[in-house]
Amino acid sequence: MNLKLAIYTIDVKHKHKKDKVNFENAFKTISVNTLTKEEYYKDFITKYIQSFDGKFTSSDENSKSITTDNLEFIVSENLIYGMIKGGTTNVEIDIFESKNSGTPVGKISRNQIAAQPYFFLLYTPYDKSYGVLMIQYYSIASVTTSFKKNLHDFFRKHELTLSMYPFVTEKQKKSFLKKSVINKISLSKVVRDNAVRSKFNPLIIEEDSYEVVIEFRKIKQNPEKIIERIKDSVLNNKKIIGADLSDFGIQDNSNLNLKVFYENEDGKKSHSSMKNDFEILPTIDLPDSLKEKLKDSPNLLRTKEHCFELLKTVKEEILKK
């Protein structure tokens, strides 16, 4: 298994409010007493850890459960990091020897969990309205959704709304694009016009609407050049493709969903879309050197050091936006 990393920027709002608040405000909402700056953060961390009550907790439609394992925090930096454990729950699984598929050698019951260790880091600066969450996962296993939902639910219990946004550093994006080609472009548009729909009778006759999807495959071209041409067409109000697509209800670029699909030399894939200004979010790979010796799980110290360095870059890039 390969180690992967998901990065999110986070912010908090009071329930039913539109404006973001800084984490000082959030911590004071979570606490019931008047405390010092350091004590507010400690109280936040204590309450979050206590919310697990030493048990596995499930927030992801009861399919995955997680619990805290080995946690450390730096009060002066409003930073907590460490390991959680998690895995599939509420399902019965037979256990087999790899060379014998006939007879199971054991069983995991619905009340048991085959848990794996995962590294995480949560940065919630006291005087800022943004934070950073990093969650490590594996190429074939993840509890990321459960962890995010659990954290979201914790804030919600205190009348706060936590929002999370995927993040990849500029260096990671450039590294992926440098080794990538575009292997597919898709254009799609939902068509509700009866006059257009009637052209495809009897196939579409009873549909209220349909989506036209046009795909160009096996392009194998440099991403920068193609995206530059697309942006130039949009900027100058020209059609992205010159063919007459009016029969399909496509008159111009308005409401046109255009996606670009990339693949790098290692077979890793990603995509971007015109509506998000071709912002790309490739998978973040972690080096094998972060693994425990003779294991696939992350080494706490080495993974912490790697993510701390990465956090410096993330903070710098957030401040530039």
Whether 25 and 133 map to the same domain: the answer is: yes
Whether 131 and 248 map to the same domain: the answer is: no
Domain that holds residue 116: 3-168+283-320
Burial of 235 (0-12, 13-18, 19+ CB in 10 A): exposed
Nearest of 73, 104, 99, 67 to residue 86 by alpha carbon: 67
Residues 44 and 157 in one domain: yes
pTM: 0.86
Rounded CA separation 64/295 (Å): 22
**Contact status, residue 300 vs residue 70, Cβ threshold 8 Å:** yes
pLDDT tens digits, 160-175? 999 999 999 999 999 8
Claim to verify: residue 183 and residue 154 sit in the same structural domain: no
Q: Are residues 212 and 291 in the same domain?
A: no
- Ramachandran angles phi, psi of 265, nearest 5°: -65, -15
Identify whether residues 86 and 221 lie together within a single domain: no
For residue 275, the tally of other CB atoms under 10 A from its CB is: 12
Residue closest to 260 by CA, chosen among 237, 277, 248 = 277
**Both 163 and 177 in a single domain?**
no
Quote the number of domains for the chain: 2
Do 9 and 98 lie in one domain? The reply is yes
Same domain, 136 and 250: no
Same domain, 212 and 87: no
pLDDT of residue 320: 74
117 and 265 co-located in one domain:
no
Question: For the chain, which ranges sit under pLDDT 50?
Answer: none
Same domain, 208 and 64: no
